[in-house]
Structure 1
Amino acid sequence: MKLGWGSKKFTLVIIPDANRSVRQFEMLNSIPYIAATAVFVLILVTLVLFFFQGRTAVIADQLKVKIDSQELVYTHTVEDKNETIEQLQNEVIKLSQQTSEMKARIDDIRKMEDEVRSITGSTKIVAAAEGTNTLDSAMGGISHPATNNDVNELLSQTKTQLSDMDLELAALQQSITDTKHKALAIKEQLRVTPNIWPVDSHRITSGFGLRQDPFTRRPSFHSGYDISAPANSEVSVTADGIVRITGSDSERGNHIVVDHSNGLQTMYMHLNKILVQKNDSVQKGQLIGLVGSTGRSTGYHLHYEVLQNGVSVDPLPYLK
């Protein structure tokens, strides 16, 4: 007897219930194995699908977390960028305001320089620009967010203003330097100009020019001012200079001659005492002698004389 899987058959008996007939089915013996194998393969495929579905879900969750994280970083980056842009825009606005304020200050400085020029005798007067008041803290108005074009235009204007200010500052620096030199020259000129009173008293007993001589009672020329003052009153030099003469004679009495350069000299006569020596350097207001009545004098006074290139001139234009 030969055995073979192909010739064997299985009989499937189905018994419904007592009232029904039994049903029988014959099938090849390989069908159950095929069915079992198919079920196993199906189960295996299902498991593999579940495995890949689970792995896919994990990967999807990881990607979602990563995307959410990247989105958060991107959001923060955009916020930081916008905040930085806004800060830069505000800095541009502040720079523009500071530039305007600096321009106003330059105009104020130029105005002061023009005033100095007018004092020193220069004719170059330039009016200060209008609207130079500095900004205060009072603000208001409707809110209109600035656009990039607005900020770029403001930045361009500010750059132009700064460039112009550089040129103005250079010109102003040179102008102030010139004015300073002129002011120093004028200051030096004032130091050697006899424009103060030689004694505290301003009581003039005899002026410059023709008069009746106090001794001869005849008309005579008086070459200076006789200023009445108490005996030993302080006599001050009326400008910076060098003492050229100190001496005494029967007419001028004790006297001093001071050279102030530029051909200008002053003479102090009838002194009771001389307090400087020849070739001494003296400064305006310095004590040089005491009032007396020496020489050709009728009483205590100071004969004060101004000479220009050796010629006596009226002292009045020099006195304050």
Structure 2
Amino acid sequence: MRIATNIIVFHRIMLICAKTEGADMKLKMGSKRYTLVIIPDANSSVRRFEVPKLIPYIAGAGLMTLVSITLVLYVGHARNASVANKLQTQIVSRDAEYTSTVQEKNQTIEQLQNQVIQLSQQTAEMKAKIDDIRKQEDEIRTITGSGQVKISSADVAPAAGAMGGSSTQASNGEVQVLVEQTKSQLSDLDKSVDELKDSIADTKEKAIEAQQKLRITPNIWPVDSRTITSGFGLRQDPFTMRPSFHSGYDISAPRDTPVHVTADGVVTTTGSDSSHGNNIVVTHSKGLQTWYMHLNKMLVQKGDRVEKGQVIGLVGTTGRSTGYHLHYEVLKNGVSSDPKPYLP
């Protein structure tokens, strides 16, 4: 009830103020003050206040100024918030781009590091292969009688297969060391390839010389048979039964067995007599000659060039012979030699 009474009283106060102001406006148009009357309730005394006429205008202007300032601050805050949001969006976007770029660069660096490791392994494998080639070259040089090539110690190349161990990220320093080692290995490999190229060319030349030497040196059996019925040196003569010197090998073979020349050469003599029967002499090189006797048939003529393994006649029993065989003789500077060193 008291609240309602106060509202009614306040209403009355406003009406009294309005009426008083109206009366004052009519009676005193030039007055510069307002009178404010406050009646708390029916039993309380009335209170009056005089307010200068400019105060409401000043209050209104202040309120308008406050509202304007508030609006300006609000608009500024909103604008700053929008700019801040844009900047935050740009920062997030740039951060994402930077993170993506860093990840891509890290992946690229890791790929390059793996490629360096693979290159280093391939370099070691290539060096090992070059050393293997040099070993084979040394074997060829040994066969041909040439000097051996000095082989550098090869790095152990990893073989393909199972692997394991703990995983530790390679540091940039370790990768840099591997790069420098690989550079050094590649430099050495380049020199090794050049040396190997020259060495192989020399080995090839030596091999050709050795091959040529083998072709002109008697070192194969003249017939397929390996049955020696009479060796080189002293023996009992099959006709006189007296001790005599035998200057070659008698190799037993069936009639018309092919007779092969044992080295490249030139036919210097073909003939027939009561002792040697049908016979052929072939001159080779370095004072070597081979002599084929008791042939049933001769297939070459004097002056013919013959190649190692070529058939020059057929086994027979012509001349001083007790049966089908080939008398094979090797002469060194015109002197009969033991054929054994010239047979495989």
TM-score, normalisation: structure 1:
0.85
Residue 166 (structure 1) aligned with residue 190 (structure 2):
yes
Decide whether the 8 Å contact of 1:243 with 1:280 is kept in 2.
yes
Q: How much has 1:113 moved relative to structure 2?
A: 2.6
When structure 1 is superposed on structure 2, of 34-43 and 156-165 the one drifting more is 34-43
When structure 1 is superposed on structure 2, of 15-24 and 268-277 the one drifting more is 15-24
Decide whether the 8 Å contact of 1:110 with 1:128 is kept in 2.
no
Q: How much has 1:59 moved relative to structure 2?
A: 0.8
2:32 paired residue number: 9
SS in 2 for 1:161: helix
Decide whether the 8 Å contact of 1:245 with 1:278 is kept in 2.
yes
1:144 paired residue number: 168
Residue 63 (structure 1) aligned with residue 82 (structure 2):
no
Residue 47 (structure 1) aligned with residue 71 (structure 2):
yes
Q: Summarize deviations over 1:160-202 as a string: whole Å, max 9, x none.
A: 2222222233223322322222222112211221111111222
Distance in 2 separating the partners of 1:213 and 1:143: 87
Residue 25 (structure 1) aligned with residue 37 (structure 2):
no
Residue 236 (structure 1) aligned with residue 260 (structure 2):
yes
2:247 to 220, 223, 227: 223
2:112 paired residue number: 88
1:3 paired residue number: none
SS in 1 for 2:203: helix
Distance in 1 separating the partners of 2:181 and 2:51: 103
- The one-letter amino acid of 1:275's match is L
Identity over aligned pairs, percent: 59
Distance in 2 separating the partners of 1:26 and 1:201: 155
Decide whether the 8 Å contact of 2:217 with 2:285 is kept in 1.
no
1:245 to 250, 259, 269: 269
Q: How much has 1:152 moved relative to structure 2?
A: 1.5
Distance in 1 separating the partners of 2:63 and 2:335: 145
Residue ranges of structure 2 left out of the alignment (5+ in a row): 1-28
Decide whether the 8 Å contact of 1:108 with 1:128 is kept in 2.
no
- The one-letter amino acid of 1:239's match is A
Distance in 2 separating the partners of 1:151 and 1:133: 18
SS in 1 for 2:319: coil
Q: How does 1:122-271 map to 2 (within 5 A)?
A: 122-124=146-148, 126=150, 129=153, 132=156, 134-215=158-239, 220-271=244-295
Q: How much has 1:154 moved relative to structure 2?
A: 2.1
More helix by share: 2
Q: How much has 1:292 moved relative to structure 2?
A: 1.1
1:290 to 305, 314, 322: 314
- What is the number of residues matched between the two proteins? 314
When structure 1 is superposed on structure 2, of 110-119 and 121-130 the one drifting more is 121-130
TM-score, normalisation: structure 2:
0.80
RMSD, matched Cα: 2.8
Decide whether the 8 Å contact of 1:118 with 1:125 is kept in 2.
no
SS in 1 for 2:329: strand
Decide whether the 8 Å contact of 2:330 with 2:336 is kept in 1.
yes
- The one-letter amino acid of 2:313's match is G
- The one-letter amino acid of 2:184's match is T
In the superposition, relative to structure 1, how do residues 202 and 10 fare at CA in structure 2: closer, same or farther (>3 Å)? same
- The one-letter amino acid of 1:161's match is Q
Q: How much has 1:57 moved relative to structure 2?
A: 0.8
